[in-house]
Structure 1
Amino acid sequence: MTFSPWPKGKKLVHLDLKGAPPRIEYLHKLIDLFSQLGADGLLVEYEDMFPYEGQLNLLQATVHPAYSHEEVLSLQDVARSRGLEVIPLVQTFGHMEFVLKHPSMLGLREVGHCLGTLNPHREDGLKLVLEMLRQVVERHPGLSTLHIGADEVYLLGEGEESKLWLSTPGRTVEQLFLGHVTRVAKAVKEAWPHLNLVMWDDMMRGMNHDTLKASGLVGLVQPMLWDYGPALDVDTTVSLLEKYSGAGLSTVWAASAFKGSTSVHTNVALTQRHVDNHLQWLKVADTISPAVHLQGIALTGWQRYDHLSVLCELIPLALPSLAACLQTLIHGQFSLEVQANVTEILGVSSVEAEKIESHVDDSSFPGGRLAAVIVELVSILNSNDICGFENNMYVRGWLSPYHRQRKTVSPLITMQIRTSATELLNILEQKATTVREEMERLYPLATAQEWIEQHVTPVVAPIQKIVEDITACLLEMTAQHSLPALAEQPK
């Protein structure tokens, strides 16, 4: 499958920092690699890693330190030296969990039990968003483009103030959405007239031509249409882009994914899946009319689905995917030659991260050693020996819940089970220790702890419980066996 190379425009690598934020030294190495792979810029979603000041200080991460002002500047300096533009992404409506989770922000939620959506009726909410934007813009000297988020504004219109507002005939949830985004965009353009504003498109997809044209957003924002699936519907996507263009929103962006969109808990990125997504986007770029002014594409790399979900694939596990996707865009295909380019650049034998060899290290690519040891550990965690341990013949036959409850077991067989379980636990402990040590070199300690607790501890716990139950059963049975002998001893 061959298409024209990605047309003129930026190829942005998305850095989602709301989970597993790289240590700054590692981040510098990643930026250098992104440049080598063909990226033109970074879409940086700081979230709680930005060093907010004053009353916004509470937005900073607490499980590990946020980046310092100096580190934020150094990120930009390194990117600039490699010819990469930096575009910050600040959520201003939906996905504001990292803000609205704080008790002091409770009154700014659209609905009390939804931490992601801002109440669009509160002036304090607008002031909060604009102060966040001010601090980010001022820490990015020379900034030309800003992304204001606004995707997945869940339960909008469900709050009491919204219901009251919507009770007036003719008012719609679409207008409610457009009204808030327009106010934000106008305020930003008033403060920084030179800034280009980008926003996610999903909340506008169902809007008709007239609604979009009358929205007030024409000339203010550039929609970024996102679709991360390998089976992206080209015709539907082209129609959406044409609709935006016809309504006056002709300057648009695309957004694909190189990681973080397979499932909420995926450990290792699947390169072919993400390459297929980019091949579909190449077909879209080949199909749209000249009236659609495509500014570029953001290759998203989600680290969490939202602020409160588990970690997705860590960046080292997705670098083969990123390299393959960027090279696919550059060459218009994913040929054997393109695959050879990827493997040569990264020093690996396959474009699929799950096939990374155990000898790969950081001399191959930044984080290569961590990628290799995680692949090895994940393979063990997913092995039949581990996954099927609780259901193997011996555990089900001689250590059932019935046996455990009554502490009546076959010592011979359960001792064999305990030996096998202990051997598996020792292997897992050794591999997990190696992963933790490698992870702590590249990420905060809290990230290593979170990854281990999410992916290793749940697997270890039931096997550890089996060992404990066997020990308890054997102790009780041994004690019962010893009682008659003790009673026969002379007083």
Structure 2
Amino acid sequence: MKCPPWPQGKKLVHLDLKGAPPRVEYLHKLIELFSQLGVDGLLVEYEDMFPYEGELRLLQATVQPAYSREEVLYMQEFAKSKGMEIIPLVQTFGHMEFVLKHRPMWGLREVSHCVGTLNPHKEEGVRLVMDMLRQVVELHPGLNTLHIGADEVYMLGEGEESKLWLALPGHTVEQLFLSHVTKVAQAVKKAWPHMTIIMWDDMMRGMSQDTLKASGLLGLVQPMLWDYTPDLNVDTTVSLLEKYCSAGMSDVWAASSFKGSTGVYTCVPSTQRHVDNHVQWLKVAASISAGVHLQGIAITGWQRYDHLSVLCELMHVALPSLAACLQTLSHGQFSAEAQSIVTERLGIASVEVEAMGSTSAGESLFPGRRLAELTVELNALLNSEDIRFFENNMFVRGWFSPYHRQRKMVSPLITMQIHSQASTYLTVLQEKVAAVREEMVRLYPESTAQEWIEEHVSPVVAPLLRITEEISACVNEMVP
């Protein structure tokens, strides 16, 4: 089904820097590509990569250096020179893991075992959030729009102070959420009266119109409704947007996804899955009433599900998906024409990164192309049944079982064949890993390459190494 193209408002690309933050040179190549693909702005989630100062310096990343003040300013200037706006995203309630994991901040958690949620009753919590926002705003001269997060505020109402507050007549968890967000939004408006404030919508989805009307948020924030699924329910989403509009929040945003929403440890994205998500969003945009003012869409690209989870698909493997999603929005469908625009611009054979083909040409249209190819090749190797299930093959199970290993009574002829096969796989993997590492550290910090390899490669290599070592030990007992 063909829909009208994306109707209006800005097309933002979400830059999630809380995992695999691109080196500055690579970041500029990405921004250059985004502008060529028709992106209007960047929704930048710095998290621990922001150069916080003073008491907040402890929030800076330690596994790699945070961006410097000069780098943050230069990134903005470069984006503006390409006609792109920068909107910082700073979490102010939920997903504050990168703040509340630090021992001096432990007392500001809603409950001790939930590292993400801020206690809404402590004034120093609001002061902390405002200090973070102030530093970010000051390092973004001329800033007009700010995203204050507020999604997935887990365990809210479970803290001791919240339980006392909720015991009072008429107090609900919904009001507890709204009161904190309203307090933050009012403080932002007081400090920067011109500022447009965006927030995630998920904590408000179940609220009635009356609750929203009475919240004090009207005129203060613009909800950003996120749904990253390929089978997004159009009717439900339309009615949610209409509800926000009827409650007095007529300025709303959509948020889709081009990567980082399939599975928490997914390595290579499926372009089709993300294109399907955008087709559903086009149906939503075509179905809402004229009263709903769609301000734009943020195309999210998560590098981690949260600060403490593993890396998911990195930026370099997801650029075909991003280009395909943007063309889908421009054409109203992912037509043959839209596909050919993507494959021609990026110089690839297919929009699916696993089938894009290799090239000897330069990477001017596709920054990170070589690393994307290497990632796909290594991922295929790591997931090949021969390697992944090596311990379950007939020879290992038949002639080198735990029983044999324990007694060191083995058939040297067959176990040496097993050893040879495992060693061959290890050599191939080690060569591929070395190539990936070499390329990855050109685009990302050393710590990213280390983490990615430990996450994806080490669990597959470890059993092969163990088998070769154990065979050597056993054969030494049996062969003179």
1:403 alignment partner AA: H
Query: What do residues 103-124 of structure 1 show as CA deviations (whole Å, max 9, x unaligned)?
Result: 1111000000000000000111
Structure 1 residue 384, shift from structure 2 partner: 1.8
SS of structure 1 residue aligned to 2:299: strand
SS state at 2:197 partner: strand
CA distance in 1, matches of 2:365, 2:70: 29
Question: Who is 1:485 aligned against?
Answer: none
- Aligned-residue offset at 1:169: 1.4
Mapped to 2, the partners of 1:363 and 1:194 lie a distance apart of 39
Shift of 1:356: 2.6
In 1, Cα distance between equivalents of 2:142 and 2:349: 41
- The Cα offsets for residues 303-349 of structure 1, whole Å up to 9 and x where unpaired, read as 00000101010101100000000011011110011000000111100
Deviation by residue 1:230-254 (Cα, 9 ceiling, x = unmatched): 0000000000000000000110000
- State the partner residue of 2:391: 390
CA distance in 2: counterparts of 1:153 and 1:363, whole angstroms: 41
SS of aligned partner of 1:3: coil
User: How far apart are residue 75 of structure 1 and its match?
Assistant: 0.9
8 Å contact kept, 1:213–1:248? yes
Contact 2:48 2:61 in 1 (8 A): yes
Q: Is residue 2:164 matched to residue 1:164?
A: yes
| 1:177 corresponds to 2:144 | no
Structure 1: segments with no counterpart, 5+ residues:
483-491
Distance in 2 between residues matched to 1:343 and 1:134, nearest whole Å:
43
SS in 2 for 1:377: helix
Counterpart position of 2:105 = 105
Alignment-derived partner of residue 429 in structure 1: 430
1: CA distance, partners of 2:157 / 2:302: 27
User: Matched residues in 1 for 2:126 and 2:259: separation?
Assistant: 32
Please list the CA deviations of residues 415-469 of structure 1 after superposition, one character each: whole Å capped at 9, or x if unmatched.
Answer: 0000000000000000000000000000000000000000001100001100011
**Alignment-mate amino acid for residue 453 of structure 2:** I
Tell me, yes or no, if the aligned pair for 1:358 and 1:373 is still in contact at 8 Å. no
Shift of 1:364: 4.6
Q: Which has the larger radius of gyration?
A: 1
For 2:313, the equivalent position in structure 1 comes to 313
Structure 2 CA distance for aligned equivalents of residues 388 and 192 of structure 1? 58
Give the CA deviation at 1:389. 1.0
Instruction: Work out the CA distance in 2 between the residues paired with 1:207 and 1:451.
Output: 40
Report the 3-state secondary structure (helix = DSSP H, G, I; strand = E; otherwise coil) of the residue aligned with 1:243.
helix
CA distance in 2, matches of 1:434, 1:230: 34
Q: Distance in 2 between matches of 1:343 and 1:358?
A: 13
- 2:95 aligned counterpart, secondary structure: coil
Contact 2:350-2:357 at 8 Å conserved across structures: no
**Alignment partners' CA distance in 1, 2:365 and 2:440:** 17
Q: Which residue of 1 aligns with 2:382?
A: 381
- CA distance in 2 between counterparts of 1:209 and 1:51 reads 40
Q: 2:116 matched to which residue of 1?
A: 116
| SS of match in other structure, 1:283 | helix
Cα distance in structure 2, aligned partners of 1:438 and 1:363: 16
Match of 2:188 in 1: 188
Task: After TM superposition, give the deviation of residue 137 of structure 1 in Å.
Answer: 0.3
SS in 2 for 1:253: strand
Listed as ranges, the matches of 1:245-324 within 5 Å are 245-324=245-324
In the alignment, the residues of structure 2 paired with residue 93 and residue 201 of structure 1 have an alpha-carbon distance, to the nearest angstrom, of 13
| Alignment-derived partner of residue 402 in structure 1 | 403
Residue aligning to 1:369: 370
For 1:344 and 1:280, the matched residues in 2 are separated by: 25
In 2, are the aligned partners of 1:13 and 1:39 still within 8 Å (CA)? Answer: yes
Equivalent-residue separation in structure 2 for 1:217 and 1:407 (angstroms): 71
Query: In 1, are the aligned partners of 2:148 and 2:198 still within 8 Å (CA)?
Result: yes
Shift of 1:476: 2.1
- Deviation at residue 26 of structure 1 after TM alignment: 0.3
Count of residue pairs brought into register by the alignment: 479
Q: Is the 8 A contact 1:356 1:371 kept in 2?
A: no
Trace 1:25-174 onto structure 2 (pairs within 5 A).
Answer: 25-174=25-174
Residue 20 of structure 1 aligns to a residue in which SS? coil
Residue matched to 1:339: 339
For normalisation by structure 2, the TM-score amounts to 0.99
Shift of 1:385: 1.7
Alignment of 1:206 onto 2:206: yes
Q: Please state whether the residue corresponding to 1:300 is helix, strand or coil.
A: strand
- For the pair 1:464 / 2:461, whether they are aligned, the reply is no
1:357: how far off?
2.0
**Partner-residue secondary structure (3-state), 2:438:** helix
CA distance in 1, matches of 2:407, 2:359: 48
Match of 1:244 in 2: 244
2:17 and 2:216 mapped to 1: Cα distance?
A: 31
Per-residue CA deviations over 1:211-242 (Å, capped at 9, x if unaligned) read 00110000000000000000000000000000
Q: 2: CA distance between counterparts of 1:52 and 1:475?
A: 58
Distance in 2, Cα, partners of 1:233 & 1:364: 35
Q: For residues 76-126 of structure 1, what are the alpha-carbon distances to aligned partners after superposition, in whole Å with 9 as ceiling and x for unaligned?
A: 011101101100000000000000000111100000000000000011111
- C-alpha separation between the residues in 1 aligned to 2:454 and 2:380? 17
Question: Cα RMSD over matched residues?
Answer: 0.8
Alpha-carbon distance in structure 1 between the residues aligned to 2:320 and 2:288? 29
What CA distance in whole angstroms lies between the structure 2 residues aligned with 1:164 and 1:401? 57
Whole-Å separation in 2 of the counterparts to 1:70 and 1:21 = 16
Q: Which amino acid letter does the alignment assign opposite residue 454 of structure 1?
A: E
> Is the CA contact 1:120–1:180 (under 8 Å) kept in the aligned structure 2?
yes
CA contact (8 A) 2:33 2:365 kept: no
Check conservation: 1:38, 1:327, Cα contact below 8 A.
Answer: no
Q: SS at the partner of 1:193?
A: coil
Q: Deviations over 1:388-409 (max 9, x none)?
A: 2111110010011111111111
Q: Distance in 2 between matches of 1:224 and 1:256?
A: 10
Matched-pair contact (CA < 8 Å) for 1:39–1:84: yes
- Tell me the SS of whatever aligns to 1:278: helix
AA matched with 2:262: T
Match of 1:475 in 2: 476
Give 1:38 deviation, angstroms: 1.1
Q: Which residue of 2 aligns with 1:327?
A: 327
3-state secondary structure, aligned to 2:73: helix
Question: What is the letter of the counterpart of residue 330 of structure 1?
Answer: S
Q: TM-score, normalising length from structure 1?
A: 0.97
Contact 1:48–1:66 (CA<8 Å) still a contact in 2?
A: yes
Contact 1:370/1:438 (<8 A) preserved: yes
Aligned-pair CA distance for 1:477? 2.3
Aligned position for 1:442: 443
**Which letter does structure 2 place at the counterpart of 1:298?**
A
Q: State the secondary structure of the residue aligned to 2:266.
A: coil
User: In structure 1, how many angstroms separate the alpha carbons of the residues matched to 2:106 and 2:119?
Assistant: 10
Q: Distance in 2 between matches of 1:169 and 1:404?
A: 67
